[in-house]
Amino acid sequence: MNRLLISVILAGAFVLSLLVAAGPAAAVACGGGVSVKGGTPCWKAKRIVKEYKKTRKGSVQGFSCSGRTSGGRVVVVNCKLLNKKIHWES
């Protein structure tokens, strides 16, 4: 019984350490000022940023996007969909 309890505790500690190690996903730099979190492919993230800059719509391909302009040009884009995030800055 004692061995069973120890093995359950060790298994729980191992699973917990795996969850902590995974933690929040680090941002991946895609180039061109675009970075992604949450597994969005770089090609799709770049396309979403390009479409937002062109149309300035609040929803692009399912992502909720917002941006900041300066002098009539878009200088920052942030898009979210569930746990996926896209960021672009000039």
Q: Give me the tens of pLDDT residue by residue for the chain, a chain 90 residues long.
A: 677 666 666 666 555 454 444 445 689 999 999 999 998 999 999 999 999 999 999 999 999 999 999 999 999 999 999 999 999 998
Residue 23 and residue 25: Cα distance in Å, rounded?
6
Cα–Cα nearest to 80, from 53, 40, 46: 40
pLDDT at 21: 43
CA 58 to chain centre: 18
Residue 76 and residue 67: Cα distance in Å, rounded?
5
pLDDT at 90: 87
pLDDT at 1: 67
Q: What's the full length of the chain, in residues?
A: 90
